[in-house]
Structure 1
Amino acid sequence: MSQPATPPSVPTSSAALRLALLEDDDILRDRVLVPGLTRHGFDVAPMRTAAQLHAALEQRNFDLLVLDIGLPDGDGFTLTNQLQIGRPSMGIVILSGRDTSPDKVHGLSQGADAYLTKPVEIEMLAATLFSVARRLTRPDTTPVAGLAEWQLQDDGWCLFSPDGKAVALTQSERRVLMCLWRTCGKLVSRDALLTTLGGDMGLEIDPHRLDALLHRLRQKVQDRTGMALPLTAVRGAGYLFIPQG
């Protein structure tokens, strides 16, 4: 049996996707969306008006935009169309309380990459944003027959199934999965994963926490992708992660 791998260092910071969040509901924006999306690794710039967005765009570029349709100083559909024409490289996700088919069709026809309705699970919103970002940066990527495999985003915040479905990861899930990913095909000991989960502070982690985290991660991956996470537990030793089937 191969020897358990030594845990690689996992970066605590990386070039996060820059996200403009345009939402005029202060409580939803500041108490739910901002902390939730930050927890999934996004660099979030919150704002409540179209004017604030235009001002921000003069100072910096954004990879992604989440916006509501009903804005205090404009129409989200019109804004979407303007931005799609003027900034085609920026991914746009509409997040609205209007859930009728005509609204969804109109939003997508104006140039939105995705249309989600409130209330939305943060993990679903994050996964959608990662999927949009991936499509924009890999427009010519197509699966190769017989070579389909799982992919982990470079900064570790999102896992993609072989058919391209996205699973947004939390900080703890990211740490553990990056440790497994960097040693693909090699046995990683439980102690190594516990050390990784403890982070730079060297915190002592209860082994049951690791078990619970992996159980939740397996279930989340199954729910989001319809496929099992390619992670094998080796009794009394550790885990093997083999992304290519």
Structure 2
Amino acid sequence: MEKIVVGTNASSPRTWRVIVLEDDEVLREHILIPGLIDYGFAVTGVRTSADLYRHMLSNQYDIAVLDIGLPGEDGITVAQHLRQLSSMGIVMLTGNHERSDHIRSLVAGADTYLSKPVDIEVLAASLHSLARRLRTPIAACSEEKAAYDSVPSRAEWRLETNDWCLATPRNATIALSGSERCALQLLMAAKGAAVSREELIATLCNDVYDFDPHRLEMLVYRLRRKAREQSESLPLVTVRGVGYAFIVDQNDANDALISVSS
């Protein structure tokens, strides 16, 4: 069964459209589609290559995520056809760890090759990275000029790709889930000022009384862990009795009020 789902910011012109070809219904419907939606993509899921071609007749997609091991036409053959027809991004998924499949995928025109079981965070980061390379030269030049004009002299943490990625001072990319994105938008907009737990919880849910405060602590823990995995120290600090602050310039911090959680 095929399924078309749109991510939470699909009305934005920066939403990247992804078609996922995977015959494993559980993996497709319960892991890949909801996982990619949570990382800001508009997602269409299909079971067979025929379904994929039919959708492409009436819809445009930026990236195709293809399983290699499919009944009938395999994913590598599909990748060859897509590459002949378009310059869309192509990501291959496979449970087969043979080196030959990796080579055949790249020769067929795939941009990225990931092994199953795929980490949805790694897949989302790969898609965001690929999406940035797929921008048209004119759009890319325009955005780069605007970025150059607005970037301060020192490197800094910043939100990119319609705020679905956190870029580090060393230009590493951290893919964000929907809740992580909402929290960082609020924290970074505060420009170093403390944001209360109540404010953060209110932006993460519709009913603050139904929200378990431990979920906020886990969100902060995940963000710090993701930064550590990129060999970065996230400047997200705990403000005693208040909430959290995202402080890039430590001169803005009040050392008497702030304690950094380990």
SS at match of 1:185: coil
The TM-score with structure 1 as length reference comes to 0.81
What RMSD in Å do the two structures reach over aligned CA positions? Answer: 2.8
Mean alpha-carbon deviation: is it higher for 67-76 or for 44-53? 67-76
Give CA deviations for 1:98-128 in whole Å, capped at 9, x if unaligned: 2222321221232211100111111111111
The answer on 1:101 being equivalent to 2:106 is no
Instruction: Return the alpha-carbon distance in structure 1 between the equivalents of residues 33 and 58 of structure 2.
Output: 20
Find the counterpart in structure 2 of residue 153 from structure 1. 160
SS at match of 1:70: coil
Find the counterpart in structure 2 of residue 220 from structure 1. 226
Please tell me whether the aligned partners of residues 201 and 208 of structure 2 are also in contact (alpha carbons under 8 angstroms): no
The TM-score with structure 2 as length reference comes to 0.76
CA 1:139 to 1:226, structure 2 compared with 1: closer, same or farther past 3 Å? Answer: farther
The within-5 A match list for 1:16-35 is 16-35=15-34
**Shift of residue 219, structure 1, vs aligned partner:** 1.0
Structure 1 unaligned runs (5+)? 1-11
Mean alpha-carbon deviation: is it higher for 144-153 or for 21-30? 144-153
CA 1:244 to 1:101, structure 2 compared with 1: closer, same or farther past 3 Å? Answer: farther
Find the counterpart in structure 1 of residue 9 from structure 2. 13
Instruction: Return the alpha-carbon distance in structure 1 between the equivalents of residues 56 and 248 of structure 2.
Output: 39
Q: How many percent identity over aligned positions?
A: 44
Instruction: Return the alpha-carbon distance in structure 2 between the equivalents of residues 24 and 148 of structure 1.
Output: 44
Q: How many residues align?
A: 230
Find the counterpart in structure 1 of residue 200 from structure 2. 193
The answer on 1:229 being equivalent to 2:228 is no
Find the counterpart in structure 2 of residue 123 from structure 1. 121
Give CA deviations for 1:114-170 in whole Å, capped at 9, x if unaligned: 100111111111111111112222866699996433332353332233344332222
Structure 2 unaligned runs (5+)? 1-7, 251-262
By relative contact order (CA 8 Å, sep 6+), the higher-ranking structure is: 1
The answer on 1:184 being equivalent to 2:191 is yes
Find the counterpart in structure 2 of residue 60 from structure 1. 59
| One-letter amino acid matched to 1:37 | L
Instruction: Return the alpha-carbon distance in structure 2 between the equivalents of residues 93 and 220 of structure 1.
Output: 23
Please tell me whether the aligned partners of residues 107 and 115 of structure 1 are also in contact (alpha carbons under 8 angstroms): yes
Please tell me whether the aligned partners of residues 128 and 161 of structure 2 are also in contact (alpha carbons under 8 angstroms): no
**Shift of residue 13, structure 1, vs aligned partner:** 3.4
